[in-house]
Structure 1
Amino acid sequence: MDNLTIIEGSGDAAIADWLAGRLRDALGAKDGPVTITVPGGSTPFPIIAAMLEHDLDWTRLVVWPGDDRIVPEDHAASNTGRLRDLFEPAGSEVVTLTVMEAVPRFDLAWLGMGADGHIASLFPNTDPRVDESRAILRLTPDPLPPEAPFDRISLTLPSLLASDALVFVIRGDEKRAVLDQAISGQHDLPVARLLKAATQPVTCFT
């Protein structure tokens, strides 16, 4: 994959610096809002907090959750609620995912990945397709993750691919092995389908 860069051993602060640099470039390249999508789970939130310490015009940033659990936004499992707590005090807009939402082209799509190869809430059992006609899906993971046993709402593969750049933050040897196998075409899990279809720059922090 000529469009892929793997950066190993970066801590939260270094990743936050990289993300802030990308956003600075995007803000400087055009007028109006800059739109990103960000993952849930435990990994991104310390990185986001560090990123927000950078001196950027956060009022021009529009943040889309890549996915969320179908729970109220004040629920502890809500990605959207946690994103609001971080971004809204800085002046950024945080979008609530609904299946009727018109999805924009993203300046940056930031993703995580599960050990089963899922991205956003596109789990293997949902058979995500790069030619999916819908931009957002409601779905049920199977098996349900015990730490978050909820139905989901998620951007689809075409929505994630409609971005100027993709970035992954993947931690742990087990996930790194799944990533390496996806890059080399050894499986057809959701992450492999995304990477195979991606033509934009892809950066993976491991």
Structure 2
Amino acid sequence: MASSSLHFSTPLRSLYSSPSLRRLPRIPFQASLFSPQPTTRKTLALSTGISGVSGSDSGRFCWRAKASMAGTTTEKGKGKVEVFNSEEDLSVSLAKYTADLANKFSKEKGSFTVVLSGGSLIKSLRKLVEPPYVDSVDWSTWHVFWVDERVVPKDHDDSNYKLAFDGFLSKVPILPGNVYSINDALPAEGAADDYETCLKHLVKSGVISVSTATELPKFDLMLLGMGPDGHVASLFPGHPLVKETERWVTFIKDSPKPPPERITFTFPVINASAHIALVICGAGKAGPVHAALGDGQNSDPLPVQMVSPEGELVWFLDKDAASKL
């Protein structure tokens, strides 16, 4: 393979110890015949002290919350909140949001760095593998990372990589060398060290941008889900890792949610992002959503309340997840 900014004529192992670059075969994809359907936005009068916004193009209502987010170091507010009538409507809007950012960054700097999480997020990205996006997005500019990963083989059902590959990556022509999975042959601590080394190499080579405020890696878009306990990535309520500030990538061996061993980005790296989309569906997550976006104050904020990027934060909620607001 000819060398380029991400394709090396010699193995990555020669550039730094323990490579995290994993090249996998591309699987042909037959695009769906169905394209996203337009929806209509509704104007709602809210009794929560939050101002409504009306429009004409999506089956949702949205508002900008007034209060500041607890547990953050700067006064950024809670971001833009969009609530959709259904998960289907959410997926349509999320695809457009992601594709628009991909096109913007690809034109500006020739690349698009996007970070995925596990859970139901990949399902919510399904519209990206359908027309018009599967044919119009410049997939060659994408560089894909994981905000956290379970320390299991890549073909294991618990693997976030496998989830993303089966539901998304295998259906779009992203260059295999631009997909950065963990080294699943290493134990948790080694896998975290290895992934951080990989990120540092990609920052040095200019693939990943750098925050001028913190000098941390600044990803173009981070797509986060949230657990029913309010955790994001593998940062769980009450766990010491939520306060980690030195490492870019760290590890956990006692995850309260199985499997117990994982690696995860830390909050400083998460919050250095240019854009974060928090994608949350289901009534089982309404409590943490209310804790984060409601009018109450938490003395001990949930991890989701600690998400506060340098750039834009957008909450994508279905009506069930927003039912307590």
With normalisation by structure 1, the TM-score equals 0.85
Q: Which residue number corresponds to residue 52 of structure 1?
A: 129
- The Cα of 1:137 is off from its aligned counterpart by 1.1
Spell out the pairing of 1:7-156 with structure 2 (5 A cutoff). Answer: 7-9=82-84, 10-31=89-110, 33-41=111-119, 43-53=120-130, 54=133, 55-85=136-166, 86-87=168-169, 89-92=172-175, 93-97=178-182, 98-99=191-192, 100=194, 101-102=196-197, 103=199, 104-129=217-242, 132-143=245-256, 145=257, 148-156=258-266
**Distance between the aligned counterparts of 1:22 and 1:38, measured in 2?**
15
**Distance between the aligned counterparts of 1:199 and 1:176, measured in 2?**
26
- The Cα of 1:131 is off from its aligned counterpart by 5.6
Larger radius of gyration: 2
Percent identity over paired residues: 28
Question: 1:132-172 CA deviation, whole Å, 9 max, x = no partner?
Answer: 100111103443x2xx4331111111111121011111112
Q: Which residue number corresponds to residue 166 of structure 1?
A: 276
What SS does the aligned partner of 1:19 have? helix
**Distance between the aligned counterparts of 2:125 and 2:107, measured in 1?**
20
**Distance between the aligned counterparts of 1:125 and 1:107, measured in 2?**
29
Distance 1:108 1:123, change over 3 A: same
RMSD across aligned C-alpha pairs, in angstroms? Answer: 2.1
Whether the 8 Å contact between 2:94 and 2:125 is mirrored in structure 1 is no
Question: 1:65-99 CA deviation, whole Å, 9 max, x = no partner?
Answer: 11111100011111113323432551242212332
Q: Output the amino acid matched with 2:249.
A: I
Distance 1:67 1:119, change over 3 A: same
- Of residues 182, 201, 204 in structure 1, which corresponds to 2:292? 182
Distance 1:141 1:179, change over 3 A: farther
Q: Output the amino acid matched with 2:285.
A: K
Which stretch of structure 1 is more off in the superposition, 112-121 or 20-29? 20-29
Whether the 8 Å contact between 1:168 and 1:203 is mirrored in structure 2 is yes
**Distance between the aligned counterparts of 2:284 and 2:123, measured in 1?**
22
Whether the 8 Å contact between 1:122 and 1:128 is mirrored in structure 2 is yes
Distance 1:129 1:26, change over 3 A: same
- The Cα of 1:123 is off from its aligned counterpart by 1.1
Q: Which residue number corresponds to residue 28 of structure 2?
A: none
Whether the 8 Å contact between 1:3 and 1:201 is mirrored in structure 2 is no
Higher relative contact order (CA 8 A, sep 6+): 1
- The Cα of 1:8 is off from its aligned counterpart by 0.5
For structure 2, the residue ranges without an aligned partner over 5 or more in a row are 1-67, 69-76, 183-190, 200-216, 318-325
Count matched residues: 199
Q: Output the amino acid matched with 1:73.
A: K
- The Cα of 1:111 is off from its aligned counterpart by 0.4
